[in-house]
A and B are shown apart, each in its own frame.
Chain A
């Protein structure tokens, strides 16, 4: 069974940093591209970043480029999102997703909440 389990969320102050992790199991992690997608409270979905299976290609939303860094460790079956210079508008549930058929997100984690507030 495919499982994606995010961790690392919490309450931070504006300007601080946080690193999210996503532990993957039930599939060959090193063979799949992965994504981070976020959802602000009561709002819709926003794609944040994507990374290919061997980290060759990485993309970011304009809203996070230069502040967030996506990475992965295929030996540990883990995906990461390093978030710097956090802002109030980064407050959201962050989901880890697997890029499946035709680049859609076929599996999602349960999400981890990041709250940026003074």
Chain B
């Protein structure tokens, strides 16, 4: 099983600042990685697939990068609606696995 490790567990950022979230895979997942955003009481929402492609309707301030085992989600200028939990997921191998999540909170 591929283990996905996200860091940090909590990221404290002021509105308007840049936020950088990391996701590491225990073995290569090539570019088969997605990022999801989840707000309290809501279902997750797909942000990024293929490590770097924004899903439909996702603002350009969200960007993904990386390949192999190291991935990054960057939020260029955090808006109030971006404070949430973010999960990475690999879909390169079965079983599909998620990271433990990064909570982005207001500083």
A23–chain B nearest beta-carbon distance, Å: 15
A102 CA to B31 CA in the complex, in Å? 10
Count of chain B residues with Cβ under 8 Å from any Cβ of A?
25
A46 CA to B97 CA in the complex, in Å? 7
CB of B95 within 8 A of CB of A104, answer no
Tell me the dominant secondary structure on chain B's binding face. loop
Known: A50-B96, A62-B95, A105-B34. A111 touches B43 (CB 8 A): yes
CB of B43 within 8 A of CB of A108, answer yes
CB of A103 within 8 A of CB of B91, answer yes
Known: A44-B101, A45-B87, A103-B32. A108 touches B96 (CB 8 A): no
Residues of B within 8 A of A (CB): 1, 32, 34, 36, 38, 43-46, 49-50, 53, 55-56, 87, 89, 91, 94-101
Residues of A within 8 A of B (CB): 35, 44-47, 50, 59, 61-62, 95, 100-111
